[in-house]
Each structure stands twice: as C-alpha cells, then as structure tokens.
Structure 1
Amino acid sequence: MKKKITMKAGCAFLCVTMLSGCSSFKKLDNPYDFAQRTALYEGTALSDRAESFAHNLCVVTADTPSTDQAVTAEAAAVFDLSDKTVIFGKNPFEKLYPASITKTMTALLAIKYGNLSDEVTVPEEAVITESGATLCGIKPGDKLTMEQLLYGLMLPSGNDAGAAIAVHMDGSIEKFADRMNEEARKLGATGTHFVNPHGLNDENHYTTAYDLYLIFNEAMKYPDFRKVIGTSSYDAVYATASGDTLTKTWKQSNWYMTGERDMPEGLTALGGKTGTTKAAGSCLIMGSSGSSGMEYISVVLKAPDRTGLYDNMSNILNKIVD
C-alpha cells in the first residue's frame, strides 16, 4: 500500500513563516535547514518574527490555489522561481513514492560533490533484476566516466547507472543513501527519506512534491545538470569489461522533450525527470521557461498512467501566466 502521511505541521510552519525581510535569516549557517529556521523562530522575540524564514524559496500559503478537478494526480504543484510564489499546490506535503524522480537527487550529488571526469568501473551492485526496472545497459567491469553515467541515469533512467554512481562515490548503496538524506536535510526537505539512488520501491523511500521542488531547485543551479536534462539523445562510447569499445544511444523519456506532447503556448521545456512504478504511479518533475525569461518548476506525482501524467502536467502548466 502507498505510504500516505499529510505533513500538517510542516504546512502550518511554512504558512506562518511566509513573511518578508531576511536579516534574521543571515544568522543561520544554512538557510535551507528547517531545524535551524525553527530554532531561530522559537528563539526570536515576537516583535521580530515578521522576518522571512523561507528566504528565496517558494512557500505554500493558505491562499495557494489547490483545487482543480482536472488535476487527477495525487499531488501536483507549480513553482514560480522568479517571484518565489506557488502558482498551484495540490497535496504538496503528502508523503509519496517518487520512483525515478529520485535520480534528481543522485544527479545533484554527483555534480555537486563528485568529479564528472572520474573513470568509474561498474560494480556488481549495478546488476538489477527487479521486474520493470529501467536500465541503461551497463555491465559490471565496464568503464565509463561519471559524466557518461549521468546521461545514463537521467535519459533512459538507468537504475544501473544510479548504483554505479553511488558505489563510486561512497562505497555502498547504503552510505550513498545516507548522503542523500543528509543533503535533503540541508535543503529543508524534511518530508523525505531515501534508501537507494534510483527509486525502486521501498516503504521507507518517500518524498513530497514540495521537497522535490527544493531538490530540483538546487540542482538547477548547476549548468551540468541543466545540460544533461536538456539533452534529448546522447551517444555513450565506453570500454566494456573485455576491453572492447561499445557505443550506446540513450534517449530522453520526457514527452515534452521528445515532441510526443506539446508544451503549453509560450512555455519551453528545460528538461526534467520522469518516474514510474506500480506503487508510485506516473510521475514527472521538470523545469520550464516563459517568453519573458521567467522560470518555473512543476511536479506531478501518482498520476494514473503515462497519458494522464502529461494531461495533469499540461493542466498545471496552463496555470502559468508569463
């Protein structure tokens, strides 16, 4: 069964702290850390609490539109990165399975803390036999760069690439998951817990639409991330375990990027990450830009099927007035 817990406390906290100003925020070592923000808020005189504890972030408020019968997914949201508003938010704090959207965090960690020029020998942990698991087709002993693995991770959604990145960076899936959870806490993604780098289903592996915005928002700060998610097709040339040279072509799975679905008028897809499992349903997070240059992050979780996923995404993207 789906793990479904509504983060009422988190929502209330965000609503309370949607205020203006930022001088108190400068006292924090990490302004994305909710624990620090909470402690600062509780230790601040009432007269001084009219300062932002969500500086430079989109925050869900009581006025955020949240109801639309055309939005049939379990959770959906659109975030305006330019003016830091939430255009629409249905169940933004509900804990749900993210499927392969998990790989956004894996990519972020690889870019932020790894070396993309590293040569990686694919480990045994990359052998994934679970039914329905998406793979980029690498084998133990193959040698690829971290950059190549990023494309294998984000375009064909290779669970094997995710495992290879995790083991290369931290020695094991478990230790990399610890890094993922540490980064989530730094970003304020308090409704998130990861147990693997790829998103194969586990009852202890969950996140929220709002937390995915926080993670994707951080990832979009890195040009390498934008380059990878904005690529429709990538040819990887690498050495196999036997020493032969192999070429694989990995293609994007986002229909807005492949032309299988048109973006709403005036918007351009910057790229994103799809995800699908039986428990998670069909999921998508993506960045887009408007004709004026403004940028947005939109997320849909647990849509009924692939067609319904893009119907839901188009519905919420149409709420953008650029």
Structure 2
Amino acid sequence: MTSAKPRRTVNNKAARLKKMRRRRIRHTILLVLLLIAVVGGGVFAIYTLRGGSLSTPVIPFQASNEFSSSVTARDSLKGNGFAKDLVVSAQDTPLDGVALETDQKGLLFDLANNKVLFAKGAYERVYPASITKIMTAMLALKYGNMDETVTITQENVTLEDGSQVCGFGAGDKVTMGQLVRCLLVYSGNDAASAIAEHIGGTTDNFVDMMNSYAAQLGCTGTHFSNPHGLQDENHYTTPYDIYLMLKEAMNYPSFTEITQLPSYTVEYTKADGSTMSTVLEATDHYLTGEAATPKDVKILGGKTGTTSLAGNCLALLCQNAYGQPFVSIVMGASSKELLYQEMSSLLQHIN
C-alpha cells in the first residue's frame, strides 16, 4: 500500500505539466492569430485610404448637399474668382514724385503683373466727362456695322451750347466707322449721340446698354445717363471703373488703332447731296505733340475728358520699353497743363 502513493504523485505531476504545455500552445496560437488579424486590418486600412477598390468614393463638397437655398444649390456658380486677372487696389498707394491736388483722383496699374503702382481715391465717385466715350465706342464696335450709313438726326445735333461737335447737320450721312473715329479722336458729342440712337434705337435704350455692359465688367461705382459725358449729376464713375473699361477696350483692336491717331479727316455727304471734308485734331496732347511723352513710353490708346465740374481728365493705355501694358488715369486737374504734368510724373515710373 505504501508503494502506490509515490507513483500516483508522479503521474499527477506529469499530467499537470502536459496540461500547462497545451495551454501555452493554445495561448501562443491565439496570440499569433490576433497578431495576424491586427496586421491584416492595418494593411486593409492603408489600402482603403489610398483608394483601393474596396474603398468608398470620396464625394466632393457640393453646396446643394448642405444647403437648401436656391443660390447655394447652384454648384455651377463655383469657379475662378472674378478678380483673378484684375489689379486690386485696397487703399491709397503713394509713389515718389507723384502728387495730385487735394480733390484729384488717379491711379497707375501694371497690367502685366497685376500690381498697383499708384492709387488715390480709386473708388471715389468722379464725373467722367468724355471718358464716357470709351463705353460708347465699345458698344459701337461690339454691335455696329462699321460700313453702315447713319443719317444724322436733329436730336444728334441739339446739344448744349459750347459742346464739342464735329459740325454735322440733320440729314447728313456718315458711316458708323467714321462716327467712331470722330468720337474717339475728336471727342465729338454729335457723333456720340448719332451712334447711341443708331445702335440702341433710342438714346435711352443705348444708355441702358451702357449700364448693363458696365455691370458685366464689374463697375460697381458707375452710372451713365448719356452717351457723351455732358454734365449730369446722375452720370458718374470711379477711377477703378475706368480702369475696368479700358482693360476691356483692349479686346477691341480698332479701339487702340483709332485712339493712337493724332488727327482724322472725315469725308461725308451733306443733306443737300454735296460732299464735306473736315480735319479733326486729336484731343490728346501727347498725340498732337503739345505735350511730350516720357522716354520709352508708347501710348496705346485712351480718352480725354473735360467739363467745368469734372475738370481735366485723361485715361491712358500705354506700354513701357519692354512692351508691358499699363493703365494710367488722372481725374480733376485744374488745367490741361497740370493734367499732362501729372500724367507724365506717373508714366515716368513704368520703365
């Protein structure tokens, strides 16, 4: 009986060791399986995040999915910002050697680099005077047939005393192309009136076209009430809006071709059938030689404007010696002499 106890003890001990080994094996297997699951899950996650075929497609943001507003729902409105190709002037920018009078406004923009070189009151309201004719000319070039004959009406020649006119009379016949040249070279108000009536059907309709086109260009400080710029308190703009108009005018090659002319001879048929020829000198003194253009500056085009309330104004497209384009605007000078002095002080900086 005493010999059986040690044998049972040995057997029990062996059984326990065997059981412990099996438990370790099970734990090891479980740990390996868990490790495989973790590694596999990580690989799957990386695969999914990198656009694997099992991933859910990333849906781009759409305002219409987030808002019910009829405006925000139109995802087609999204695109490049309106001002991406524009010079943006946030504040007045001084320039050495340039000093406008207290009530004057003006600017100098580098179009090639979308840079403000000078700005004074760029967004303040001014009377444009005949700078208005930039818009009148663009609409004529956009919608008119330059070879079409226009008959001058009494309305076209019934203008305020002292108004700049080419001398047309009611019943005279002039082509649209001739009228545009008279408009831009000599700043003829009778030419502006004839263009407006012919293109718009009525002057009022044409003025609506002017305001609509200005809005399309982003002119937020402009309102036109006539096609020529004769004084009206509801006819105004800003230097910045003039820049927008001049920038648009560059898309019309005829505009810059015409506004570089030092003079223009218009030949037309009078109401009685006779032929009339009139030589018209440019109103831009740089073109006529009355003012000296700064060295290596080429005038590409632009427009003058003068009334008692607007003062003497000049808006120019020009380029430097390297062919880079600029817009330079001076509004409200007290005299023509001062106007060109101030403009030259600006243009000297483009080279």
CA distance in 2: counterparts of 1:52 and 1:170, whole angstroms: 32
CA deviations 1:195-254 (Å, max 9, x no partner) are: 000000000000000000101110121111011101111111111111111111111110
Alignment partner, residue 102 of structure 1: 132
Taking structure 2 as the reference length, the TM-score comes to: 0.75
Find the structure with the greater CA-based Rg.
Answer: 2
The Cα of 1:270 is off from its aligned counterpart by 1.8
Alignment partner, residue 29 of structure 1: none
Name the SS of the counterpart of 2:83 in structure 1.
coil
CA distance in 2: counterparts of 1:126 and 1:62, whole angstroms: 41
Q: Is the 8 A contact 2:138 2:255 kept in 1?
A: yes
Correspondence 1:82-101 to 2 at 5 A: 82-101=112-131
Alignment partner, residue 132 of structure 1: 162
2:100 maps to which of 52, 65, 71:
71
Correspondence 1:291-306 to 2 at 5 A: 291-306=321-336
Name the SS of the counterpart of 1:65 in structure 2.
coil
The Cα of 1:132 is off from its aligned counterpart by 2.5
Q: Which amino acid aligns with 1:130?
A: E
The Cα of 1:61 is off from its aligned counterpart by 3.0
Q: Is the 8 A contact 1:254 1:271 kept in 2?
A: no
The Cα of 1:67 is off from its aligned counterpart by 8.6
Q: Which amino acid aligns with 2:233?
A: E
| Aligned residue pair count | 277
Q: Is the 8 A contact 1:281 1:301 kept in 2?
A: yes
Alignment partner, residue 60 of structure 1: 89
Name the SS of the counterpart of 1:58 in structure 2.
coil
Correspondence 1:156-167 to 2 at 5 A: 156-167=186-197
Q: Which amino acid aligns with 2:295?
A: E
Correspondence 1:1-322 to 2 at 5 A: 52-62=81-91, 64-65=93-94, 70-72=99-101, 74-320=104-350, 322=351
| Structure 2, gaps ≥5 residues long | 1-70
Taking structure 1 as the reference length, the TM-score comes to: 0.81
CA distance in 1: counterparts of 2:127 and 2:302, whole angstroms: 17
Name the SS of the counterpart of 1:286 in structure 2.
strand
CA deviations 1:54-112 (Å, max 9, x no partner) are: 02111113484379762226101011111111211100001110000101110011011
CA deviations 1:141-186 (Å, max 9, x no partner) are: 1111111001111111100000000000112111111000000000
CA deviations 1:105-158 (Å, max 9, x no partner) are: 100110112211111011121113413311111111111111100111111110
How large is the RMSD of aligned CA atoms in angstroms?
2.1
Structure number with higher relative contact order (C-alpha < 8 Å, ≥ 6 residues apart)? 1
Q: Does the C-alpha gap of structure 1 residues 205 and 62 become closer, same or farther in structure 2, counting only changes over 3 Å? A: closer
Q: Which amino acid aligns with 1:217?
A: K
CA distance in 2: counterparts of 1:179 and 1:89, whole angstroms: 29
The Cα of 1:257 is off from its aligned counterpart by 0.7
| Structure 1, gaps ≥5 residues long | 1-38
Alignment partner, residue 9 of structure 1: none
Q: Which amino acid aligns with 2:340?
A: Y
Segments ≥4 residues shifted beyond 2 Å: 61-70
Q: Which amino acid aligns with 2:247?
A: N
The Cα of 1:318 is off from its aligned counterpart by 2.1
CA deviations 1:266-288 (Å, max 9, x no partner) are: 21112321111001000011111
